[in-house]
Chain A
Amino acid sequence: MATPIELEVFNKLFASVAEEMGIVLRRSAFSANIKERRDFSCALFDRQGLLLAQAAHIPVHLGAMPLAMAAVHSGRKWSPGDVVILNDPYKGGTHLPDITLIAPVYCGEPHPLFFVAARAHHADVGGIEPGSMPVATDIRQEGVIIPPTRLVRAGSAHHSFLEDFLRRCRSATERQGDLDAQLAALRRGSLRLEELVARHGRERLEEMGAELMAYSQRAMRRCISRIPDGIYEWQDLLDDDGCETEDIPIHLRLTIRDDQVEADFTQSSPQVKGGVNAVRAVTQSALVYVFLCLMDQSYPINHGCFEPLALHTRPGTICDAKFPAPVAAGNVETSQRLVDVLLGALALALPGEIPAASCGSMNNVAIGNSPDSEGPEFTYYETIGGGMGARRDMDGLDGVHTHMTNTLNTPVEAIEHSYPLLIETYRLIPGSGGRGRYRGGRGIRRDYRFLAPARVSLLSERRRHPPTGTRGGEPGRAGENILFRKKKPQRLPGKVNLEVLVGDLLSIRTPGGGGFGRKKKLPIKRKI
């Protein structure tokens, strides 16, 4: 058995390899999305492909990285110097812009001892709209699909594949630079693991890896066993799919039995025409995220955490989509609703413990040059935070990313330096947080002025159904998307592709969080 100090030291050793890969990726990347917003994750796997450590970057990548690893690993013959690339949501990906690179680490052994992986959200991977986050009806409209493919074979790059891929993306130089940054992250990870093997020996490292997984599993089981046994059901709705289907139900039947969880989403809506379909990896991520939040302190995040969490989905549903359903918003919007549903069910099991609903949307904005305009080519993607739901003994945070994402904003000065955009307003919306004993966090207003004609795709939720309050708290204010053309406002749907002109102003107002508890009424003074 490992001592508590050994567990701590090796946990930090593995975690720091993943963290350091993240630093290399961020520092050498070219697109704002990676270098400023840090929309990426890095992870290590053991020889069987089980998650050993993942840097705490983006929760929605949590469950997805192991599935990418599994998709790449099964039946593959590795050789030293290989790198495999993929983004296919139906083979280990989540949505097309998230490109994952995986490499084996040999440390002088005949078979790989470890694997390193770097996933990053690229600002464009082709498709019908710049930013590759369009409202579409088929995944083939969303961008280039890359099934697991050798990008580098035994150290030499697969040039024809790369050229073909880059030809089908917008801003190809940026793509190339970001892929190089991902490769650099893998190299650094391999190097650090080789050093660890040299210092501690292969056997000890592998033994400690297994110990850490057992340790995390024990902690997760302890956490679950504190939740009262029972079957808890909850349902919530997505606003729409952007293609005329409205009020799409997500249904959960959550069974807690001793230290084991079964999350059954099989009664959820069938998959829909528009891109709010989530692949199973996304549902898996939401499940793991919620249970990590319930743990009393931070534990190493690895395969051990996943073991006690059983997930049931039905292929062809909104929680487990089948090819060729479009999935761009499944990863960024449906994932948030999955969390709302999971927390809703848990609120029945743990009354008073669970916060009100948060903003519930990542408020995705993708912007690119208009194909017929003459200006320089560009693509830009960002997400906007909102209000956090109020908690049992405090207000929700204002203007912040909640649940499945934690990307940073791109500094306004960096956006305006690189793109024909002016950000004219970036502030909180007074009164947008749901009232209650504790107030929900406030949403954000962000206004974009266009200095060149452009194509814009918006993927946003909670425009029709606001984030709910809990235990008598009021809901937060729903979000709004408004286009001002010659000062005339025009309300936009939550999900839309549109053409904008020079001088147009796009105003995104994100939802506030729900309130917690009934607001205490002030005693009414009676005249005597």
Chain B
Amino acid sequence: MRIGVDTGGTFTDFVLEKEGGLRFHKVVSTPHNPAEAVCRGIDELCESLYPGDEVIHGTTVATNGFLERKGARTAVITTRGFRDLLCIGRQNRPELYNLQVRKVAPFIRRSWVFEVNERTLADGTLVRKPENGHLGKLQDKLIHGRFESIAVVFLHSYVNPTNEELVGAYLQDLGLPVSLSSRVLPEFREYERLSTTCINAYLGPLLSHYFRELEQRLRPVVLLVQQSNGGHMTVPEAAERPVHTILSGPAGGLAGARKIADFLGEPRIITFDMGGTSTDVALSDGDLPYTREYRLDDFPVGVQVLDIHTIGAGGGSIAWLDRGGALRVGPKSAGADPGPVCYGKGNELTVTDANLFLGRLLPDYFLGGGLTLYPERTEKTMHHFASRLGVSPLQAAEGIVAVANANMSRALRAVSVERGYHPRDYVLVCLGGASGLHACELALELNIHRIILPIATGVLSALGMVSGSHRRDLSRTVLLKQHQLQTTELEKLFQGLESDAFQELARTGIEATDFSSVRKLDIRYHGQSYEIPIPHTKDFVDVFHQEHERLFGHAFLDRDIEITTLRLSLETESPALSLPRQGAAGQEKLPGYRPLYYAGTFVDAAISHRTRLQPGQKFAGPALILDDSSTCLVTPEFVAQADIHGNLHLERMR
């Protein structure tokens, strides 16, 4: 039995996979301790857990901890003369034509950075070792400063990690987690390596505490952690490599959407994952898109992650009036606690409240009736809010939805139009509980003609997790020039990398036999700075010339090539996704028709439950289609149809 668990800002989603059958579940998140919701949901979903069962967990603990600056008090130890590097960055400003331009303040204080008199040269020559006397003093400072985590980043440690390892070993007695840049990201470019290593160190204690507690409570199952690259890893791996979880949840979502899209034969998709506090969008042209230029709150993260664009707006985003009297929505969110006004506690209106007020959410059927709503609270607050705006309550609610949609469509444009892809050529795949309410209006605005709401729309991230595989990405900078190349040498280097990897995996109790490995080389012409990843085959040099020609329109057959980095991806086989067939079922009593407010007027919308739809039967909007984890608004421009697996397909008619 496998259970995928995705913690979101508002809800925690579950997918249980047992003997090919899938079950879905959802509970309200518990942000003060996300583990509570995880455990409660698992208790509700299955009676007992057995050794060998697996829980694959996507978590926002790392990302939220970073954004809220709740990470560890982290000491950074670096080469003398470079203590301000995290502040200077690449020396550029984020906007060109703005006199009021701002930069995000560093998450490590200047007084937390310590310089060490040490030096390694670019070719790996060690010219100065840190002195023991100096390290002793440093150790005292770290103790007195009550630090909780340590990052060590020395120049050129990607070629020769000796000094970093020496300092790491010296400070071992402190019993603090130590992140060495030569382990976290053994690649050149000191600022990017520094930033990645500091984030790793900053988040380590937070994350290992969380996982240890969760592992205790979930005994005897195997707890696995969803990584930002779409695969998962064990808890000991995650404790050492927290920076690999920064896109944990969204990566599960994109992986899940890709699996469903493959199953349905749709190569070109734009995923739209609107949750309670944030929205993730991504564009996939058949393969999973990767990037090594991800930025977390503007700080570079150099490890490989799925290419996902996130904005801080969702169903829980709070509506407010700015000083100029304009209606704004977000970025502040009501989250799960206190939640929207209609949850009974909060007093600030959210997008969810607006949807409820417009009749687009049914109070008695929200989350399959699992959560009681208080529409009268929303109504009262909306009247008050509307009088401040000087409009009718319905206009106010519609305004809130319109502003939220404008935010969403900007995000969708960022991954499509701005990169030269026209949304028209793509299918919008909805994830997350709130996306179905906004999908049609967004599709109209972006000229998208088809929308898919997969069977597990509200829990697709958790589905991606349950259907993923164990994965480990490794890299090593080698900087080998053409004349230094011999195939046997490369083979040896790769074998070394592989055996290191397997040893490490074995240390955390994982068998090597189940893994298949993919070897890639980062190659460039000697003198260039941008490397092209090429599979490690016999004719990789020719393939590189061809790739360069394809990408840039020319190849330099007489120039020397240089291999900068070896890349190894170890991955177990991922279970094939097969969606069970579903007939029309379910006997719930639903109201039939209900008025909802759309485009400035009330329309009568047909209400149905997703499980009661006859596969293949078409029906035109306006309609509301409910299931246990989401609600879909079909606007009058669209025609909806369910397939035999319960996926909903919407097509634009006019």
Q: Which A residues form the contact surface with B (CB < 8 A)?
A: 5, 8-9, 12-13, 16-17, 20, 24, 26-30, 32, 35-36, 56, 59, 173-174, 177, 180-181, 183-184, 187-188, 192, 199, 289, 292-295, 298, 354-355, 384-385, 388, 391, 394, 397-402, 406-409, 411-414, 416-417, 422-428, 444, 447
Contact = CB atoms under 8 A, between A and B. Distances in A.
Contact of A27 (B87, B417, B530): B530
B96 to A, nearest CB: 5
Nearest to B100: A391
B189 A413 contact: yes
Contacts of A184: 552-554
B417 A416 contact: no
B84 A12 contact: no
B83 A28 contact: no
A46 B6 CA distance: 50
20 contacts: A5-B445, A9-B417, A29-B528, A177-B528, A183-B554, A184-B553, A192-B420, A355-B99, A385-B91, A385-B92, A394-B100, A400-B103, A407-B91, A412-B190, A413-B155, A413-B190, A424-B81, A425-B81, A426-B88, A428-B88
B383 interface: no
Nearest to A295: B97
B81 A447 contact: yes
Contacts of A27: 528-530, 551-552
Interface residues of B, number: 50
B93 A416 contact: no
B189 A414 contact: yes
B129 to A, nearest CB: 17
- Give the most central of B87, B92, B98, B556: most A CB within 10 Å: B92
B135 interface: no
B253 to A, nearest CB: 25
B158 to A, nearest CB: 8
Contact of B122 (A16, A59, A183, A413): A413
Interface of B: 80-85, 87-88, 90-93, 95-103, 121-122, 155-156, 158, 188-191, 413, 417-420, 422, 445, 479, 525, 527-530, 548, 551-554, 556, 559
- Give the most central of B82, B96, B188, B189: most A CB within 10 Å: B96
A406 B96 contact: yes
Nearest to A389: B99
A514 B7 CA distance: 47
List of 3 A-B pairs having minimum Cβ-Cβ separation, nearest first:
A425-B81, A27-B530, A35-B529
Given A177-B525, A399-B87, A188 B553 contact: yes
B190 A293 contact: no
A400 B91 contact: yes
B528 A293 contact: no
Contacts of B95: 298
A454 B654 CA distance: 71
A174 B527 contact: yes
Contacts of A30: 525, 527-528
A9 B421 CA distance: 11
A412 B153 CA distance: 13
A80 to B, nearest CB: 16
Contacts of B156: 413, 416
A417 B188 contact: yes
B188 A406 contact: no
- Give the most central of B190, B528, B551: most A CB within 10 Å: B528
Nearest to A446: B81
Given A293-B99, A388-B93, A427-B81, 11 more contacts: A26-B530, A29-B529, A35-B528, A36-B529, A59-B97, A177-B528, A177-B556, A385-B92, A399-B91, A409-B90, A416-B155
Contacts of B419: 16
Contacts of A20: 420
Given A9-B417, A28-B530, A35-B529, A427 B189 contact: no
B101 A397 contact: yes
Nearest to B85: A426
A35 B564 CA distance: 16
A413 B188 contact: yes
A16 B420 contact: yes
Nearest to A417: B122
B88 A398 contact: yes
- Give the most central of A398, A412, A428: most B CB within 10 Å: A412
Contacts of B420: 13, 16-17, 20, 192
- Give the most central of B83, B95, B419, B420: most A CB within 10 Å: B420
B90 to A, nearest CB: 4
A32 B90 CA distance: 14
A354 B122 contact: no
B96 A59 contact: yes
Contacts of B191: 411
A227 to B, nearest CB: 14
A167 to B, nearest CB: 19
Given A24-B552, A424-B81, A426-B85, A293 B98 contact: yes
A408 B498 CA distance: 36
Contacts of A402: 93
B99 A28 contact: no
Given A183-B554, A398-B87, A411-B191, A12 B98 contact: no
A28 B417 CA distance: 25
Contacts of A181: 552
B554 A180 contact: yes
A163 B92 CA distance: 36
B93 A411 contact: no
B527 A428 contact: no
Nearest to A38: B92
B481 to A, nearest CB: 12
Contacts of A388: 93
Given A397-B93, A413-B190, A416-B156, A427 B84 contact: yes
B90 A414 contact: no
Contacts of A173: 527
Contacts of A414: 188-189, 529
Nearest to B102: A394
A406 B93 contact: yes
Contacts of B190: 411-413
B527 A177 contact: yes
